[in-house]
Each structure stands twice: as C-alpha cells, then as structure tokens.
Chains A and B, each alone.
Chain A
Amino acid sequence: GIQVEQSPPDLILQEGANSTLRCNFSDSVNNLQWFHQNPWGQLINLFYIPSGTKQNGRLSATTVATERYSLLYISSSQTTDSGVYFCAVVPYGGSQGNLIFGKGTKLSVKP
C-alpha cells in the first residue's frame, strides 16, 4: 500500500521563526489534507490540497503531485502553533475515500 512519510518528526522553534514541514508519498493520490492536532486531540483542517498552492494567513501549502510530495510552511510561528501536524492522503484509484496518515511532525514553539 501507499506509504506516507513526514519530516522532521520533531521540531523546536523560537516564537517568530519560520518552518517547513514535508510530506512524501509513495504513489499517486486523489486527495491530500494537512491537519493540526491540538493538545486535546482534535484534528483541525488546515488545507485540502491534492495539487497546487494555497495560503491561509501565516500558513501556506504546496503539493507537487507529479513528484509526490507536499510542503507546509508556517511563518512567524506562535506558541499556539504547537502540536502535531499530520499529512494524510487518499490513494489514487482506491475504492473508498479513507485517509492514510503519516506519523506526524511534533512542533513545539517556545516563547
């Protein structure tokens, strides 16, 4: 089955710093989503981005489907950005729309 790899696994930043999180996937996908999981476990939708580039405030994402990777950019990080960031994909040609998740990047933003 498809493999989803996220890097780095852990990231520690000072408030105000910028960061780039990466998601590599081993096969073509129909759907790619980025999530932020807060300390209470809620998965918050950041981007639905099977291809192209999107921006939402301090966050932006780019997916290059032909090269099988996606990047999440966080600029001017804040302590509230702390948590785990997940990339999840739906494999191309699958018969069901189940998301396959990477293991996540744990981000800690220090004041």
Chain B
Amino acid sequence: ETGVTQSPTHLIKTRGQQVTLRCSSQSGHNTVSWYQQALGQGPQFIFQYYREEENGRGNFPPRFSGLQFPNYSSELNVNALELDDSALYLCASSSGQGNYNEQFFGPGTRLTVL
C-alpha cells in the first residue's frame, strides 16, 4: 500500500509569483485535504476535494485554489505569493468525504517566499 506523497519537497519563490504543489493520495482513498502549517503553529485547513469537487474551504483567500484529478491526486495553486505564504503545506488523504474518516498525511512541501 502506497502512502501519501507530495512534491516538491522544498520550493523557493519570490513575492508575486505563482506556485503549484502536488499530492498523490494513498491507495484506495478518494478524498484529499490541504493544510498550511506556519512555523510553531498547528496545521490550518485550506480546502478539501472529494471526487474532483471542492468539498469545503477554510479561511483562505481565492488566490489559493486547487484541483483533483480522476486518479484522486490533487494540486494546490497559490497565485500572487506573499511573504506570509511561507509555510509547510501538508496534504492528507482519506476514504470518503465524511466526518468519521481517519486522515493520513504526506511529508509536506516547505515553501519559502522571498
């Protein structure tokens, strides 16, 4: 059974640029959630995708957008990068969109915005 994978591992961008982060869900999982973790804080929910549709969104601006593909992998896109976007971005997968499903996390992508 393959776990959740994310790419790239690290990324450095400058303010105003755009970035795309990728996530492959664990085998058998059809739901992907994205979280942002600032230094010294707990992860915060960005959005969730279930069967290629956005299934919920946290308190993040529209310049954070996403996609889910038919194989359930997902992308997180961030436009017009700001310094405060520097963080660890975590992807989690689960089987089903409901509230009772255990979520499993990938290793994360560490984004630095200069």
Contacts and interface: CB of A to CB of B under 8 A. Distances in A.
B103 A99 contact: yes
Counting contact residues on chain A (CB < 8 A from B), the size range is 20 to 34
A96 to B, nearest CB: 3
Nearest to B97: A97
A88 B43 CA distance: 9
Contacts of A90: 99-100
Given A31-B101, A103-B42, A104-B42, A96 B107 contact: no
B88 interface: yes
B107 A45 contact: no
B102 A48 contact: yes
A101 B56 contact: no
Interface residues of B, number: 30
A47 to B, nearest CB: 9
A41 B110 contact: yes
Interface string B42-69: 1111001000000110100000000000
Contacts, number: 72
Contact of A97 (B44, B48, B104): B48
A101 B104 CA distance: 14
Nearest to B46: A98
A24 B110 CA distance: 29
B88 A98 contact: no
Given A43-B105, A98-B58, 8 more contacts: A40-B107, A41-B90, A86-B43, A88-B42, A97-B94, A97-B100, A100-B45, A103-B42
30 contacts: A30-B100, A31-B99, A31-B100, A31-B102, A35-B105, A40-B107, A41-B110, A42-B105, A42-B106, A42-B108, A48-B102, A90-B99, A90-B100, A96-B55, A96-B56, A96-B99, A97-B99, A97-B100, A97-B101, A98-B33, A98-B45, A98-B48, A98-B56, A99-B33, A99-B43, A99-B92, A99-B103, A101-B42, A101-B43, A103-B42
